[in-house]
Amino acid sequence: MAVEIDIDACKFKKTSDVRLDCSIDLLRLFQGKKTLLEFKSKFENFKSKISNDNSTDIFKITDEKLHYISEQIIPSKSDKRPSVLFVFGNPAIQSIQKGMFFSSEGKNNREHRFWKSILPNAGIKGLNFESLIEKDRNEKRLRALTKLTYDAPCRIGLCVFISMPSPATGAYSGIDGVKRLFGTAAFENIITYERERVFRCIRDFITSDGAVFTFQKDAWNNLRSSRKKLYDIRKAKNAELIDKIVNMPEIPICGVPPTRLSGPAGMVLSKYLAILFSR
């Protein structure tokens, strides 16, 4: 298990194969009583919006520190395959509750498109368990990811760019919802801490022949080296977002379309894998 990471106002601690415990020192994040009080008011509204999801236990404030649960899978086991890190936007509350990235989608809790179509279409087999119930497929998938018992040209790690979970829909959904909750100035500070956390994941996990794949624009814009290569969805769909990790010129980074575009995402991921890891 990885040791606790302390980055200025934020702490991140790995407490299981998939769980990441996070905390933010609000007194250090918000420089002023007024902005802190404004955040607390918005946070209570945020919690009220998600209370129907039975998810308020994921978040709490004690001693002026915001504590919450996030997700990250960085397998400690290794083999001869190069390592790749998939970086997504931020976790969905449902996935945190169920203990797995992209736990399910739809009212019937069916297998998520990331596991069902994107990875198989990219040639990554052995992580789609749609015939099982949600709990069983998540447990089996976690074992496969940590034990490396899947068919792929690479060893896979999963992380998020922004660790704070949010609902899948509504005013606080996605990274924009997290930004709305904290406010622009505080959110920019949070990005600084989150970038350093992801950089440490990259340095610890990615081998010299590995790569990073982002599935979200903020992740791409903050991890790529060239300031000129801003995220462009058209370039992402055409597999034209390729650069190096900032301050790590030996590690490629590739921008993949978001998971909601499952067809283009699978096709582009397949192209990148063929370019980087052709067998």
Average pLDDT, stretch 224-249? 94
N- to C-terminal Cα distance for the chain? 32
Q: Are 140 and 12 part of one and the same domain?
A: no
pLDDT at position 50 over 90: no
Instruction: Note the pTM of the prediction, 2 decimals.
Output: 0.94
Written as one letter, the residue type at 216 is: Q
Same domain for 103 and 44, yes or no, is no
20, 39, 60 from 29: Cα distances, Å: 20, 11, 16
- Quick one: which H or E segment has residue 220? helix 217-223
Residue 168 lies in a domain: yes
CATH of the domain at 144: 3.40.470.10
d(CA 222, CA 230): 9
DSSP category for residue 111? P
At 269 the pLDDT is 97
Do 14 and 64 fall into the same domain? yes
Q: What is the mean pLDDT of the chain?
A: 92
**Domain boundaries, position 13:** 5-71
Partners of 244 in beta bridges: 252
As a whole number of angstroms, the distance between CA 194 and CA 197 comes to 5
From residue 147, how far is each of 26, 141, 153 by CA, in Å?
Answer: 38, 10, 15
